[in-house]
Amino acid sequence: MGESVQFPSSTGPMLAGRIDLPEGAVRGWGVFVHGFTLGKDTPAASRMCKQLAAEGIGMLRFDALGLRDSDGDWGDGSFTVKVDDTVRACQFMAERGTPADILVGHSWGGAAVIAAAERSPGTRAVVSIGAPADPSHVEHHFDAIADRAVADGEAEWLVGGRALTLKRDFVEDVRRADIDDKIRALSLPFMVMHSPTDNTVSIDNASTLFWATKHPRSFVALEGSDHLLTADGQAARAGKIISAWADQYVG
């Protein structure tokens, strides 16, 4: 079961989301934040959230600015906007009477939930999955056109058959992004999940995140998974692990 929702982004346009409603007794609620140019309906997002909902934890997942069903222009986003919109998502959940106990972020979304956690109403625990310790890690995806975007103000970028506009402000914001202080100041229970065979974001990033944070902290190796958790059963497995770990923090 799911509910389609909308809420305003930090920059104004409406963001499209879906809440996977809890099955059976409600244990708690959470927000899932997807990776760089992914979306709320990618396998990692949908399968993990559906698994958590099946275990009683309702999850909001939403498309970032200008992606899939959300309004706005992706090029007007940035890491700063992604963090601010994560906070907005938690505010939306709190306003509807279902404050998010847990923040879950995949890939670039993992870095965003770390940066947003202390500002997000209701958050009691944080999970990162395949997250970079440095948000500027994503520049390798568009490094061939980054300098042109800075020089000309923008450049067209083809991603998975879609044309996105990479803008100067986006590139400069990514280059400035630094969550070191947020990682070290994180006072909430934190779980790092990462695959040892992740070829997109190396597992060294998980080590950096884990050792920089305080207890209570946990690490789970998602052995056998790729970065996008597309292998059969891997995203659902991650959801089950998150559900068990979060039991003392939700509700």
Give residue 131's pLDDT: 98
State the pTM of this model.
0.97
Six-digit token string for 149: 């975007």
Q: Distance (Å, rounded) from C-alpha 208 to C-alpha 201?
A: 12
C-alpha closest to that of 61 among 16, 114, 112: 16
Give residue 51's pLDDT: 98
Residue numbers of the chain with a pLDDT score lower than 70: none
Give residue 219's pLDDT: 98
Q: What is the distance of C-alpha 19 from the center of its chain?
A: 15
Helix (H, G, I), strand (E, B) or coil at 219: strand
Give residue 161's pLDDT: 78
